Amino acid sequence: MYWVRLTFDKLKADLIQFYDQKQIDNKGIFNSFMSKVVQAEIESNSLIQPQGNKLAVLILKAFLSDLNAQRNKHVNKEAYQVLNNDASALISVLQGN
């Protein structure tokens, strides 16, 4: 699971970096994104598996939906691409692909 944890850490670090660089320009949206990622990470570390990973995937899909809704509004193109790639790769890992 180390790789999964590393990917969650990368996703969180990318979120912070893009917010600090004003590529995510709304604190409420940043906080919403971060809370989803943190909750997905908690679920992926659940002792109840595979349900924890399934719930983590659902949360990350909600993150992607929200990210898509904010594309070119409060999230610029570069931030969108990186965050979308991070979350999509993480979903793939959690699903065992």
**Cα Rg for the chain, rounded, in angstroms?**
13
Residue 74, pLDDT score: 98
What does residue 96 show for φ and ψ, rounded to 5 degrees?
80, 20
Sign of CA dihedral 47, 48, 53, 55: negative
**Please, which pLDDT band fits residue 70 given cuts at 50, 70 and 90?**
very high
Least confident range of 10-19, 45-54, 62-71, 74-83:
45-54
Residue 57, pLDDT score: 97
- In the chain, what percentage of residues exceed pLDDT 90? 85
| pLDDT, averaged across the chain | 93
